[in-house]
Amino acid sequence: MKTARALLGAGSGLLDRALCVVGAVAFSQVPEFIQQYAQRLGGHLDEARRQLAQFQQTAAQSGLTLEALIRQTSANADAAVARLGGVMAETAARVDRLAAAQAALHEASVWTRPFAFARHLDTAIARGTWSAFKPAVPTTVEGLIYALAGMLVLLGAYHLGVRLPLARAADRRAFPTGRRA
């Protein structure tokens, strides 16, 4: 059992360092991903606002409010025209959702940003962000906080989930009656 304990102890320092690096690098990418997501979100919001402005302009040119145009179009006997009413309503709702998500991310602190991100997550935008994601070396306080959190999470998971159970199992084998030498 001393051999197992010696091997565990010898590799532990190296493994601790490796986990610190992996945790720091991995977690420090969270703020970068959120930043790239926010940029994409802004692009989607700009495009949705542009489409909504076109619908509003069409309504104004017809002497209607957007809501009246949506109601009138949705009630049209022609199914294709009626579906256009749904498109206009969905565009207005999308602008509201994206604007709320952008405001939440913009107003969130370092501590609340991941929660605001999760609460307002648009999965299509997240998939697009992930497909084009470029890792970066964070040079902000937020990046440092995430790097430290990553180090602590991986070290904690290793020590509490791997090292401690192995050490306890080795102790039980070495001292089956529960007495230690």
Can you give the length of the chain in residues?
181
pLDDT per residue as tens digits for the range 50-70 = 999 999 999 999 999 999 999
Quickly count: other Cβ atoms within 10 Å of residue 24's Cβ: 21
Higher pLDDT pick, 147 / 113: 113
pLDDT for 148 beyond 80: yes
User: Could you identify the residue written with the tokens 């952008």?
Assistant: 102
> Quick one: pLDDT at residue 156?
86
Whether the predicted pLDDT of 10 surpasses 70: no
pLDDT at 145: 86
Query: In this structure, what token pair is assigned to residue 115?
Result: 């929660």
Q: Which long-range contacts does 12-19 make (Cβ < 8 Å, 24+ apart)? A: 12/163, 15/158, 16/155, 16/158, 19/151, 19/154, 19/155, 19/158
Residue 129: pLDDT band with limits 50, 70, 90: very high
How much is the pLDDT for 62?
95
What does the pLDDT read at residue 51?
A: 98
Whole-model pTM: value is 0.72
Domain boundaries, the chain: 25-168
Task: For residue range 14-60, list pLDDT tens digits in order.
Answer: 777 787 788 888 888 888 899 999 999 999 999 999 999 999 999 99
Q: Which position has the higher pLDDT, 67 or 159?
A: 67
pLDDT at 122: 97
